[in-house]
């Protein structure tokens, strides 16, 4: 993992706008500096990476409630003992028992009280804390409670989220009261207090999971849902449990890439890397026309496999082994035309794809909107990588009664047409396919990198590019995050940051790419955060994305 001092022609400068943060005892990298500080406080109090991760997860609910929170869902990828032990905790929520196709319309599929999954985040946070943490709940949740009670100053980027979603929040009295003080979106510099949210965190700190899933919070959600014609019931909450799972992994040029399995769609990252493995990417130059074309074509090949095969393995036999087989990658690799852009089906299931679009393969014969990502690592070799979400910005738009937190809208990821052959057809107890994809990378069995991003269907694309920035081009974590990015869309469309040169964009257009621009720094291509470890010294290195309010902190 050596850092190069110059970017090959076509990619612009490798000079990062922020330093890499170094630490020996602990490191945390989050999408907001207050959440990173909450994690750092745990290290200062003698806690480990899991304590820091849970503190950061809770604080993120307060400082960026439009991204994640108590009403959301997520995934944990954890490694311990410097990579010798690796596990996944899947707390991605489930469809409530009343969640049948007939319960949904296009109008309530993504907004309102019908589209939330049963929240998984509280169970996920406390399960990881009880399993691997060292500090008590009250200590770990204290920063979130303090932030909610004393208030959070609204940043310029935060204010844009509130402003854009003012109409969404204004539809619901509980949301309007919580997030539109004075009847309008909070402006930069205003202080937003969230006393009801602080109360919910106090219940969680004092009563644990019982307080949320069976006690006062569950009763309030149940009451509010009945009053609002929602779907989640007290029984749904009481019966919810997260799952410990085995991670997926592949070898990529001597590096072991480890991530979450289905119902996470992170296998798209692994399949894309498998397709690219036989190419000398470094020789093409970073973000040159040849490089962007090749990587985008590999992404287009993996996308239809994600659309066709992604889903809940409890409801459908996901052919994971075939999707990640090197022979399957070789077969799919033949679809790449180095001179011409192909057409991709789109970002999600459709009954009428373009006639010339790349279709999904048959891996069974090879058996051989908004989100946040953050990581914490400690000197004992524990690394916790978490991606969590509410779905769209501010989730379903509804604060659950007097709880002070928003509910997710992740049923929007599922299909509601009765009789559809989509693997994501909504069904009670089912988990949707999720694009959350926390990644850890190992070399010779030892941890060297944790990386991930928000970005909806763009998550697997951005994550792939950041991994390649490190492994193929020797960038440090901050450079890998800041480097210009692109995102394959529907058909032959590809959107990219304008820091990728005009000459590159012109060459891509000549190959049939429909090139769109996202500005110099586009939030549409995510907000990555990463922690790396020097394999020789064990020093931890953190990086955070200037596309958001993220910072890494260490000691």
Active-site residues: which are they? 371
Tell me how far the alpha carbon of residue 215 is from its chain's centroid: 29
H or E segment at 64?
A: none
Contact 373, 453 (CB under 8 A): yes
What length is written for the chain? 555
Tell me if residue 439 falls in helix, strand or coil.
strand
Structure tokens belonging to residue 384: 């916790």
Please tell me the distance from the alpha carbon of residue 328 to that of residue 305, in angstroms, as a whole number. 11
Count of CA atoms in the C-beta half-sphere (13 A) of 91 = 28
A 10 A CB-CB count for 341 gives 23
Please tell me the distance from the alpha carbon of residue 430 to that of residue 84, in angstroms, as a whole number. 32
H or E segment at 542?
A: strand 540-544
Please tell me the distance from the alpha carbon of residue 463 to that of residue 260, in angstroms, as a whole number. 13
195-207 and 137-150 helices, crossing angle to 10°: 170
Contact 307, 348 (CB under 8 A): yes
- Percentage helix, strand, coil, to 5, in the chain? 40, 20, 45
Tell me if residue 392 falls in helix, strand or coil.
coil
Unique residue bearing structure tokens 């959301």: 72
**CA-only gyration radius of the chain, Å:** 22
H or E segment at 462?
A: helix 459-471
Tell me if residue 361 falls in helix, strand or coil.
coil
H or E segment at 316?
A: none
A 10 A CB-CB count for 166 gives 16
Tell me how far the alpha carbon of residue 6 is from its chain's centroid: 30
Contact 195, 145 (CB under 8 A): no
Tell me if residue 21 falls in helix, strand or coil.
strand
Question: E strands of 418-528, at which residues?
Answer: 439-443, 446-452, 486-488, 493-496, 514-517
Please tell me the distance from the alpha carbon of residue 386 to that of residue 30, in angstroms, as a whole number. 10
């Amino acid at each position: 993992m050596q850092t190069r001092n110059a970017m090959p022609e076509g990619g612009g400068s490798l000079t990062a706008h922020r330093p890499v943060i170094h630490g020996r005892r602990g490191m945390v990298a989050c999408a907001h500096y207050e959440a990173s500080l909450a994690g750092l406080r745990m290290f200062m109090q003698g806690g480990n990476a899991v304590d820091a991760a849970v503190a950061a997860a809770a604080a993120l609910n307060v400082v960026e409630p439009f991204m994640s929170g108590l009403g959301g869902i997520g995934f944990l990828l954890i490694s311990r003992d410097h990579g010798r032990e690796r596990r996944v905790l899947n707390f991605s929520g489930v469809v409530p028992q009343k969640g049948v196709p007939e319960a949904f319309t296009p109008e309530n599929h993504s907004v309102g009280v019908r589209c939330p999954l049963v929240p998984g985040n509280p169970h996920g946070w406390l399960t990881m804390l009880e399993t691997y943490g060292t500090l008590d709940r009250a200590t770990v949740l204290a920063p979130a409670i303090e932030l909610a009670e004393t208030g959070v100053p609204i940043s310029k980027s935060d204010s844009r989220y509130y402003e854009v979603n003012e109409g969404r929040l204004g539809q619901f009295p509980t949301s309007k009261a919580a997030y539109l003080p004075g009847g309008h979106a909070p402006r930069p510099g205003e202080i937003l207090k969230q006393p009801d949210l602080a109360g919910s965190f106090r219940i969680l700190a004092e009563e644990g999971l019982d307080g949320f899933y069976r006690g006062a919070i569950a009763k309030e959600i149940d009451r509010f849902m009945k009053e609002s014609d929602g779907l989640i019931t007290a029984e749904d909450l009481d019966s919810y449990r997260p799952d410990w799972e085995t991670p997926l992994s592949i070898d990529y040029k001597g590096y072991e890439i480890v991530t979450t399995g289905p119902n996470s769609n992170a296998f798209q990252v692994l399949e894309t890397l498998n397709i690219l493995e036989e190419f000398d990417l470094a020789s093409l130059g970073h973000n040159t026309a040849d490089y962007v074309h090749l990587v985008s074509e590999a992404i287009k090949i993996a996308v239809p496999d994600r659309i066709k095969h992604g889903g809940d393995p409890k409801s459908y036999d996901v052919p994971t082994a075939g999707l990640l087989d090197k022979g399957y990658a070789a077969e799919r690799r033949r679809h790449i035309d180095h001179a011409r852009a192909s057409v991709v089906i789109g970002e999600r299931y459709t009954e009428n794809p373009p006639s010339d679009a790349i279709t999904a393969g048959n891996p069974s014969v090879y058996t051989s909107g908004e989100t946040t990502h953050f990581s914490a690592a400690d000197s004992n070799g524990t690394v916790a990588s978490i991606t969590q979400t509410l779905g769209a910005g501010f989730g379903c738009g509804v604060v659950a009664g007097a709880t002070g937190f928003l509910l997710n809208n992740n049923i929007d990821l599922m299909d509601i047409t009765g009789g559809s052959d989509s693997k994501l057809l909504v069904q009670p107890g089912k988990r949707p396919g999720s694009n959350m994809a926390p990644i850890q990378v190992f070399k010779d069995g030892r941890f060297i990198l944790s990386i991930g991003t928000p970005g909806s269907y763009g998550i697997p694309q951005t994550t792939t590019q950041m991994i390649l920035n490190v492994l193929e081009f020797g960038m440090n974590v901050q450079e890998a995050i800041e480097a210009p990015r692109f995102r394959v869309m529907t058909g032959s469309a590809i959107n990219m940051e304008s820091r990728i040169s005009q000459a590159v964009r012109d060459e891509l257009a000549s190959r049939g790419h429909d090139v769109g621009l996202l500005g110099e720094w586009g939030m549409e291509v995510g907000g990555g955060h990463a922690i790396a470890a020097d394999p020789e010294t064990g020093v931890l290195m953190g990086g955070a994305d200037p596309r958001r309010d993220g910072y890494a902190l260490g000691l």
